[in-house]
Amino acid sequence: MRSPPFLLPDAGPLITLAYAGQLDLLLRPGWSLRIVDRVLHEVTRNATPSRDAISAFVARRHTPVLETATFRHYRKQMTVAGSDGKIPRKAGLGELALQEVITRFALLEPPQPAVLLFEDHKLARSGFYLPEGSIRVSTHAFLDFLEEKGWLDSAAEIERAAIQAGRKFSQLRFP
């Protein structure tokens, strides 16, 4: 018997839902929410309008943070950067850490399914392997899903709230 999927949001959906004041929507389907360490770092490292809301949500919900070699490597490189002034690569590390976690899930017996929630076109186009029962879904499609299930009155209202709060997010609908 296959276990229920873990919900793995990338940075974009976390930011959008924080702008809308609706991070709790991540819990509506009843899937176990997990946050990848590098993704959490991306959304909390700088003072932004969404940082405090995301940090408080993760802490309040005791959301498990999945550790990755990708983030450990980045932190090590940051330590070295302090001594030699060379700034380590940051671009794409959140996506790489998500791929690392998905690969780990695929190697489990049985594989752990996941719902990979994203807004970035890079994740829509990426061709990495997903464990059986796993899907990639955009923030828009996730909100539409919640509305179709009756767990949300209006996906458009959430999107509008995020935009009115200053969020500019992708209009990508996937699948």
Query: Tens of pLDDT along the chain (175 residues)?
Result: 568 899 999 999 999 999 999 999 999 999 999 999 999 999 999 898 899 999 999 999 999 999 999 999 888 887 776 555 666 667 788 888 999 999 999 999 999 999 999 986 555 555 667 888 899 999 999 999 999 999 999 999 999 999 999 898 666 555 5
The closest of 120, 167, 175 to 145, measured between CA atoms, is: 175
- Report pLDDT for 153: 96
The answer to whether 136 touches 123, Cβ cutoff 8 Å, is: yes
Sheet holding 114-118, edge to edge: 32-33, 6-9, 114-118, 135-138
Q: Which CATH class is domain 6-164?
A: alpha beta
Cis peptide before 88 (omega within 30 of 0): no
- Report pLDDT for 103: 92
For the chain, what are the domain ranges? 6-164
Q: What is the H or E stretch that residue 118 is in?
A: strand 114-118
